[in-house]
């Protein structure tokens, strides 16, 4: 069985940097104002999603490097989507 490669320091740094925007979650909540209850649920699940995606990206790097990049790209899109949702520019 093939041993997974070790995650290099630069990839760990990229994962951490791409997960850092979740720190602005309290600011995002203060900007959310009056949004639908279903959308509020998405906002409360957002930090757990970012945390789990960062862990999965770290674990995937050794065997499936492409999956790591896909997860990181989805994390970036989620950051943008949550800010659009918080600002009220999305009418679902």
Other Cβ atoms less than 10 A from the Cβ of 52: the count is 11
**Contact in structure between 68 and 90 (CB atoms under 8 Å):** no
Quote the CA–CA distance of 58 and 42 in Å, as a whole number: 24
Quote the CA–CA distance of 90 and 92 in Å, as a whole number: 6
DSSP state of 17: H
Reported pTM = 0.83
Residue-wise pLDDT tens digits, 39-71: 788 888 999 999 999 999 999 988 888 999 999
**Contact in structure between 46 and 78 (CB atoms under 8 Å):** yes
pLDDT at 89 over 70: no
Other Cβ atoms less than 10 A from the Cβ of 54: the count is 20
- What is 68-90 written as a DSSP string? HHHHHHHHHHHHHHHHHHHHT--
pLDDT at 91 over 60: no
Domain residue limits, the chain: 36-92
């Amino acid at each position: 069985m093939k041993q997974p490669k070790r995650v290099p320091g630069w990839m760990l740094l990229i994962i951490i940097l791409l997960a850092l925007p979740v720190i602005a979650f309290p600011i995002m909540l203060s900007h959310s104002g009056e949004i639908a209850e279903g959308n509020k649920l998405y906002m409360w699940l957002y930090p757990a999603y970012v945390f789990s995606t960062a862990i999965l990206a770290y674990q995937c790097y050794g065997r499936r490097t492409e999956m790591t990049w896909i997860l990181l790209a989805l994390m970036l899109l989620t950051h943008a989507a949550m800010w659009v949702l918080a600002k009220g520019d999305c009418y679902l």
